[in-house]
A and B are shown apart, each in its own frame.
Chain A
Amino acid sequence: MIPASYFFLLSVILFVLGIIAFFLKRDLITQLMSVEIMLNAANLAFLALAKSSNFLDAQVIVFFIITVAAAEAAIGLAIIMLIFRQKKSIKTEDMRSMKG
């Protein structure tokens, strides 16, 4: 029986790594990937709680998080495609103007 605190520790490590990746990487696609890492860390914490408290609703919440993440990835990648078509670049440094 693995204690839930191990899973919490792993979840915290993954979340912080996602934050670091978000700030270190300079292109939009990898930043979107690091957002996915953070979402997965949250999922892991939810499931660890579901295991330790025997509360089934957390698994349903994780299901909803995964579906919303799928929708978010689709929209985000479509926006990245649009940006690439207009600016021929997906680096964050090249996005300085608010007007398209």
Chain B
Amino acid sequence: MMILLFFVLSVICVGSVLGMIISKNQAYSALFLVLAFSCLGGLFGILGAPFMAVVQIIIYAGAIMVLFIFVIMMINLRKGISPERKKWTLAVSAVIAVVLLAELVFAVLGASPMPETAASASGTSPTDIGRLLFTKYLYPFEITSVLIISALVGAIVLVKKREKE
């Protein structure tokens, strides 16, 4: 049952990423990506990480992609990106992709097998993550808040229209 769910979700995920590559319209690309990220959220749930699944769906499929769609709406290109495409970029990307695929598969196959500990079937509760986040990873967590606030201020300052010039 789980494995069926895994295959359905992964096929939808890969298919929507392919649709994002193929589609010419940026808004359709963003919507395909929302579907892909939602399926990834489901996969995270299968992996026994319910908190990460919820964070993935709320932050990625919700917040970040809405940000993308807002910017696409503000830029509002009437005609889509022109399809002119040099032949060599396709060849170069294909070569790079094949080389990288071979390298990654080689790395995954060559990795020493993980020591299989007794995997908890019920998954990890968000309580454990919260406890870890506020004890062992307290300083990275606080630094992340500084990072977020500086990104916020930086984005506002960058996009703001300058008035006195």
Which interface residue of A12, A29, A79, A84 has the most chain B CB atoms within 10 A? A29
B72: CB under 8 A from chain A? yes
Does the CB pair A24–B89 fall under 8 Å? yes
Distance, CA A38 to CA B37, complexed state (A): 12
Check A24–B75 contact: CB distance below 8 A. no
B68/A17 in contact, CB under 8 A: no
Within 8 A of A (CB), among B116-141: 116-120, 124, 128-129, 132-133, 136-137, 140
Q: How many whole Å from A52's CB to the nearest CB in chain B?
A: 5
Q: What chain A residues lie within 8 Å of B93 (beta carbons)?
A: 19-20, 23-24
Chain A, interface size: which category?
A: 35 or more
| Dominant SS among interface residues on chain B | helix
- Quick check: A59 and B129 within 8 Å, CB to CB? yes
Q: Which range contains the number of B residues in contact with the other chain? A: 35 or more
Is there an interface contact between B81 and A26, defined as CB atoms closer than 8 Å? yes
Q: For B70, give the chain A residue with the smallest CB separation.
A: A77
* Nearest CB in chain A to that of B40: its residue: A40
- The answer to whether B13 and A10 touch across the interface, beta carbons within 8 angstroms, is yes
Q: Which of A50, A67, A79 counts the most B-chain CB atoms under 10 A from its CB?
A: A67
Q: A24-B90, A74-B151 are in contact. Are A17 and B75 (CB under 8 A)?
A: no
CA distance A9 to B67 in the complex (A): 30
| B47 & A20 in contact (Cβ 8 Å cutoff) | no
The interface residues of chain B lying within 8 Å CB-to-CB of A75 are: 151, 154-155, 158
A7 smallest CB distance to B (angstroms): 7
Of the candidates A18, A19, A78, the one having the most CB atoms from chain B within 10 angstroms of its own CB is: A78
Scoring A6, A8, A51, A91 by chain B CB atoms within 10 A of each residue's CB, the highest score goes to A51
Q: A1-29: contact bitstring with B at CB < 8 Å (1 yes, 0 no)?
A: 11011111110111111111101111101
Bound form: Cα–Cα A33–B33 in Å: 8
What is the interface of chain A, defined by CB distance below 8 A to chain B?
A: 1-2, 4-10, 12-21, 23-27, 29-30, 32-33, 36-37, 40, 43-44, 47-54, 56-57, 59-60, 62-64, 66-75, 77-82, 84, 90-91
